[in-house]
Chains A and B, each alone.
Chain A
């Protein structure tokens, strides 16, 4: 049983504790806000991860992962011949690229490789400029025909790739293209490609 005096003493004690705690809190807050800008901007003060977003499932990844790299990773399971490609080309591609791949009105596709000092934009074709055959598969698959992209089957893409490589004198007409042999095709222009070596400074490259 506490007397009024004791109650008073306890209250005083409690008040002192609260005051000290409060002062401590203010002190800590002040230190934090002095370093406030650093806290907000510095990555070191970030949590290891923020926890935004969600893990992607393999089904989701597979449905979007359509690219093909020069090693052949990503190539479809189909196959195609030059003759099949010719038929598809005439019905779906010739209208833009011309009956034999040179008439236009859009990008010229057929040309024979030869080394030269200069080349103009309109002269760049598969045969004389493209460094990788796998790019042909990747690009036709994702973006062609221009007015209905992404509608070709894997077989159709292989067939068109085979036909265009044949017309550009890269492969012969008997080749059936698939994931095993397409990455082996060496494009004659590949050896011409060099990496950018501009670094600024006085030299004009």
Chain B
């Protein structure tokens, strides 16, 4: 821009014009006499026609549009990801689900230490800086709470039904690298993982899983893990139930027997047929859910792209099938590339809805040949008990008026 020949008009610097935080923007306005002046405008004025007004300058942290308000659904002990509001398969880090047993601790990374001891050659302590020096790995994978299921009423969104699952790219050091550094005793069969939250949460993990693919993670989606997800370091065990992925990890003890902690005895175990209680049920079985159209969405007659995510703790999803006629017939869906091992996988199906009431649903099939079961099958396998590891097919009722509701899972509602 040129300054006016009239010397009363100040030399206008770009920075001055692109004003401070107080106003939405400081813009150039041309008077009828051709004079260029600064004018402060409000957000409301700014939105009017974006081609006519300068916007705020680049900043140090990004924002969401004020029109976008995705939020988690918190309870006393957990907070659920808004699956129905998301796209693709990466969960924005501030929308990653939470589940903890003593609140979120505040940990100083400069004081953080990880102790590895027990049946090892050399008990060692690693600082966060030490952990970051080791050869590192990154992996895109899901986390899921084994209690990730609700289904008893029709006004439940995907978030309410199974919002205790999210996906991040995790970066850290392989636990096997640390085991190698301390030298674990070949007679060690288990290790205790202990967190440093107020619950001082503990779980026993088989050493094989520790050696296979467990990661001591310190980064999530490109930056330091968030406190809610375990800052500054946590375990991630691909495909295993969330509580084994101990957050705020402070200690690992190698042993030849499991420790029988409170979480793995009185909590994360489930009744099965035959009146027995199943323990150490580590792996999350294959599951899928249609996230669109799903409650509380409303649709119109005509073409609808049915969308959702599918995942398995045993490996890759090989197929997701969708039914749009209340389970009478099933159609293969398109899986989003790349299909990753133990990761949320996107599926899509193009459907021409004729406007009549119907039920739509998806079922996942993983590389072991496991087919996501219906609620009634699970109930039978569990001797009639509810509990952990409930991964039933989710059935959505699409009504004539376009409203979509969950078909509740209630005994006898088959």
Name A's B-contacting residues (CB within 8 A): 43, 46, 49-50, 52-56, 60-61, 64-71, 115-121, 124, 126, 129-132, 134-135, 138-139, 142-143, 146, 149-150, 189, 192-196, 198-202, 204-205
Contact = CB atoms under 8 A, between A and B. Distances in A.
Contact of A118 (B180, B194, B278, B385): B385
A150 B369 CA distance: 46
A191 to B, nearest CB: 9
Interface in B222-270: 250-251, 253, 255, 257, 259-262, 265-266, 269
B260 A200 contact: no
A135 B262 contact: yes
B280 A131 contact: no
20 contacts: A46-B135, A53-B130, A69-B255, A69-B257, A117-B385, A124-B266, A129-B266, A131-B265, A132-B265, A142-B202, A143-B102, A194-B277, A198-B285, A201-B370, A202-B370, A202-B371, A204-B377, A204-B381, A205-B272, A205-B381
A198 B283 contact: yes
A149 B253 contact: no
A17 to B, nearest CB: 38
B255 A50 contact: no
- Give 8 nearest A-B pairs by CB, closest first: A200-B368, A118-B384, A139-B262, A118-B385, A196-B281, A53-B126, A56-B123, A142-B200
A116 B192 CA distance: 32
B100 interface: no
Given A49-B181, A64-B115, 6 more contacts: A69-B255, A192-B275, A194-B278, A200-B285, A200-B368, A205-B272
B266 A193 contact: no
Interface string B88-118: 0000000000000110000000000001110
Contacts, number: 162
B259 A67 contact: yes
Contacts of A55: 122-125
Contacts of A117: 273, 275, 383-385
Nearest to A106: B76
A56 B385 contact: no
Contacts of B366: 200
Contacts of B387: 121
B271 interface: yes
Interface in B178-213: 180-181, 192, 194, 198-200, 202
A67 B250 CA distance: 13
A52 B122 CA distance: 13
In this complex, the interface size class of chain B, counting residues with CB under 8 Å from chain A, is 35 or more
Q: In this complex, which of A49, A60, A132, A204 has the most chain B Cβ atoms within 10 angstroms of its Cβ?
A: A204
Nearest to A120: B386
A50 B276 contact: no
Contacts of B271: 118-119
Given A52-B134, A138-B261, A200-B314, A149 B276 contact: no
Q: In this complex, which of A43, A52, A61 has the most chain B Cβ atoms within 10 angstroms of its Cβ?
A: A52
A150 B200 CA distance: 9
Contacts of A134: 260
Given A194-B279, A200-B368, A202-B370, A61 B198 contact: no
Contact of A50 (B181, B265, B369): B181
B269 A193 contact: yes
B13 interface: no
Contacts of B250: 64
B181 A64 contact: no
Contacts of B285: 198, 200
B275 A193 contact: no
Contacts of B198: 143, 149
Nearest to B374: A204
B127 to A, nearest CB: 7
Contact of B276 (A129, A130, A150, A193): A193
B369 A69 contact: no
A50 B134 CA distance: 8
A116 to B, nearest CB: 7
A56 B200 contact: no
Contact of B281 (A54, A66, A198): A198
Contacts of A68: 259
Contacts of B73: none
B339 interface: no
Given A56-B117, A117-B384, A143-B102, A65 B124 contact: no
B378 interface: yes
A55 to B, nearest CB: 6
Given A52-B181, A139-B262, A118 B126 contact: no
A146 B199 CA distance: 8
Contacts of B192: 67
Interface string B297-335: 000000000000000001100000000000000000000
A62 B368 CA distance: 44
Nearest to A51: B181
Contacts of B282: 196
Given A60-B125, A66-B200, A143-B199, A192 B265 contact: no
Contacts of B370: 200-202
Nearest to A124: B266
A200 B384 contact: no
Contacts of A124: 266
Q: In this complex, which of B133, B265, B381 has the most chain A Cβ atoms within 10 angstroms of its Cβ?
A: B265
A156 B384 CA distance: 39
